[in-house]
Structures are given as C-alpha cells and as structure tokens.
Amino acid sequence: MSKSALPGFTRVDHVALTVPDLDKAVEFYTETFGATELFRLGPFDAAELPRMPDGRDWTEAHVNVPGARVFLAMLQLGPTLKLELFRYELPKDARTTPPRNCDLGGHHIAFQVENLEAAVAYLRARELRVMAGPIVIPVGPAAGMRTQYVLDPWGNQLELVELPKR
C-alpha cells in the first residue's frame, strides 16, 4: 500500500444497500444468491436514543440521517463479502428509488459467475429485470470478459461478470 493509504487498512468488510422491506430483501438474497443471515440489529430510533454532546441526534451523528428509525441485517454473501441491508422507517421523506449508475452515490454489486447465460436464465426465471447484454470486452486488459446487468426487486443494480477462460 502507498504511504498515504488508510492506516491499518486490511480489506473491505462489507457493502450496504437500503431496501424497503428487510424481511423480503433477506429472503431474496438468501434464496437467490445463497447468502447466509449473520445477524439483525435495531431499531435504532433517534427519538428514543440520547442526543450527542453536540446536540445532534444519534442517527444524524452516526449515519448522517437526522430523525431516523433504522433496522439492519448482515448477510454473508459468498466466501469473501458481507452485505448489510438497511431499512429505514423514518424519515418519511426518504427517496423510494435507488440512484441510477450516473447519479452521485450510484452503485452496483458485481457477482462473478462461471456461465453468464446460465446465470441470466436463472435470474429471468425469478422474474428479475435483466438489462440488454451481454456486454463483451473484445480487446485490452479485460479482453474476453462478459458482463450483464440485472435489477434486484427494488431496482438496485447488480452485475454478472464472466471472466475469460485462460
């Protein structure tokens, strides 16, 4: 690592998504991707937790969302990644659609698969929205890689990645 790297950084621990229904999202990711639920926490409710010394409520200070009531579930997704799912009951003015890839905060999770066509067929059979594809990289450092995007039931972008056989 470079001298300017985060001191003590060792690896990425997890990624997180916010979903409208925690139970359904846990069910989706466990049934569709074979995730294992590790634990659940919450609610963390700004109205019920003591204020911070500077006067901010707990959720504003910790997750940058004033007045929140939030629940979470942590899933093990494959051998090397955890997926944290959040559900906010408050505030009521939260956006109800995820950002697009071009929006600030846009994101996606990429899943490496051995057979892109089989993975796409599996997700189509589960009635997920599969985007056009596959995207084939013909030349350069990623030559032979094939990818395809799909949306989870709440519109979060997921990517399937098939690496070239070497």
Q: What global pTM score does this model have?
A: 0.91
* Sign of the dihedral defined by the CA atoms of residues 121, 122, 127, 131, in that order: negative
Q: What is the mean pLDDT of the chain?
A: 94
Clarify whether residues 92 and 103 are in a common domain. no
Banded pLDDT at 113 (limits 50, 70, 90): very high
Clarify whether residues 107 and 74 are in a common domain. no
158 neighbors 148 (Cβ within 8 angstroms): no
Banded pLDDT at 50 (limits 50, 70, 90): very high
Clarify whether residues 5 and 31 are in a common domain. yes
Model confidence at 9: pLDDT above 90: no
Model confidence at 81: pLDDT above 60: yes
Clarify whether residues 84 and 164 are in a common domain. no
DSSP conformation letters of 120-164: HHHHHHTT-EEPS--EE--SSTTTT-EEEEEE-TTS-EEEEEEPP
Clarify whether residues 92 and 48 are in a common domain. yes
Clarify whether residues 13 and 92 are in a common domain. yes
Clarify whether residues 105 and 124 are in a common domain. yes
